[in-house]
A and B are shown apart, each in its own frame.
Chain A
Amino acid sequence: MDILKLIEHVPDYLYESTEDIVLFSSVKFYRNLEGLNFTPKLTDEQRKEIQKRILEKVLALPMWDKNYNIIESDQAPYELLLILHERGIAGNGTLEQRKSTLLFDNEERYVIRINERDHLTFSIRSSFHNFEESAQESLIYIGLMDKTLGFAYKDGLGYLTTSPRYLGHALNITAMCHIPAIFTLGQIQNFSSILQKYLIVLSGIMDTSMQTYGAFVQLKITSFFDTFDEVKNKMHSAFEEIRDLENQLRNIIVLERPIEVEDRISKSYAILQNAKLLNLAEAFENLSTLRLGVDLGYVKEIHPNFFKEAFLRILPNHVRVFYAVQGDDLTKEAEMRALLIQELLDKYHYAS
């Protein structure tokens, strides 16, 4: 697999998004085959057997347009795994143990992990306006696989997962959101009360082990004895409330045009255009503010796709591998990130 090409690729689930607030969403199911030990107690032999059985059934599903990738994590170069991890394809377990198999299409929409923490982790990612459709699609596939593979299940508990924190329909739904007005106008209290009401956990940019930066936050709801429909409805209601709050605040910004907000936007723009070094936090914080400027029409010359491409490409390993940064040279990494952002600003600059 061509790592540089992978790094440069902006997957559809990011590209096709037409909205400002939810950048993309994903639904992820966790499953184990009935009658076999879970991953912590598997022998290598059993692991291979499980991999074979699941691959055969998953590849028979109708969504692969002959374009898919299979990565055996024990044979893949480690830097590829780091990139896949940042793109949300490999989980923490794959990096730690390197005993899992990853399967995904070129648009990174269908992502399947075999023998990571559970025998099967099946996820579909999409832009939010296609969420309902991909959610229904995921149910069809997971239902069909249950029919052919037989998943471990117990009445009163639901699907049995390696970690007891899933259960029920054993899934989580996440949404990557950008809510700069809430953060800029300091409405965190209102935002937190929505999170509490729907039992939402916040996680980082692409993966749980990453911090949140700028106003980019990932919302996550886990099933916990809930059915798929219940989790989905919760997420929908939560989004509506968060989106209303964010839009309300954006309106205030536009109507009252506080000079502080305009000032922050122009400063962020200037930093991104001129900085020589940008660490990850600085980059995301300024991208976040600039994006607010573009969304509100303060900054007119940047195409919104700039943010979609920058989103994955500025991540640490994406920068390091692409520019062959050696060792843990953080300065070099920051330098290359600044350069990359400036190149992308040129690329997505409207000819005026």
Chain B
Amino acid sequence: MLCQKCNSRDAEIVYKEFSNGKLITMNLCWKCAEETANAVREIPQEEMEPPDSSTKCPKCGLTLREFRTNFQLGCSYCYEYFLPFFREVLDRVIHRSSFSGERIKPDRFSIYLQSEILKLKDELQDLTDREEFREAIKVRDKIHKLESILKWISSN
């Protein structure tokens, strides 16, 4: 789907805006979202585009201008360095101001796998009792697969 503003780039984000007390959402590309957000804040162009547009990330050398061209960052440090420049867009496209989750850890899935295997074993017993062997073979293969993942997790 194309961006609803420029009609040329792909729409990547759902942009939210309050207008006359109503929430309006638009599918926009990143560039148009940023422009719209800045227009709403009525920030003069000069301020958004500091005269020193060659402002560089001290770690990877990415300039603000480069970032603005394709909205890609150069390294982890860019997030600290350039965040003030796209904070406003983030606030518009997300419904919360920061991430409150944590890293994805594989450990909790051992528990998921174990319970899943138990469930499947019940199902297998059921199918065998009802002599539905074709289905039973599928379930048995699934159990094997999950068991091998479980084994693999504990050995890593």
Contact = CB atoms under 8 A, between A and B. Distances in A.
- Consensus secondary structure, chain A interface: loop
Interface residues of B, number: 45
A146 B109 CA distance: 14
Contacts of B74: 37-38, 40-41
Interface residues of A, number: 54
Contact of B94 (A32, A201, A225): A225
A125 B80 CA distance: 34
A140 B106 contact: yes
B14 interface: yes
B71 A224 contact: no
Contact of A62 (B12, B14, B104, B148): B148
B86 A164 contact: yes
B65 to A, nearest CB: 13
A24 B141 CA distance: 22
B60 A41 contact: yes
Given A38-B74, A136-B109, A212-B1, A146 B104 contact: yes
A227 B79 contact: no
Interface string A131-170: 0010011011011101110001111111010111101110
Given A38-B74, A41-B60, A201-B13, A139 B1 contact: no
Contacts of B101: 158, 168-169, 226-228
Interface string B91-105: 001111011010111
Given A143-B109, A201-B14, 19 more contacts: A37-B74, A38-B72, A38-B74, A39-B72, A41-B74, A133-B116, A136-B116, A137-B149, A144-B106, A147-B156, A157-B99, A163-B73, A165-B30, A167-B99, A169-B104, A202-B27, A203-B1, A203-B10, A226-B99
Interface of B: 1, 10-14, 25, 27, 30, 60-62, 66, 70-76, 78-79, 86, 90, 93-96, 98-99, 101, 103-107, 109, 112-113, 116, 148-149, 152-153, 156
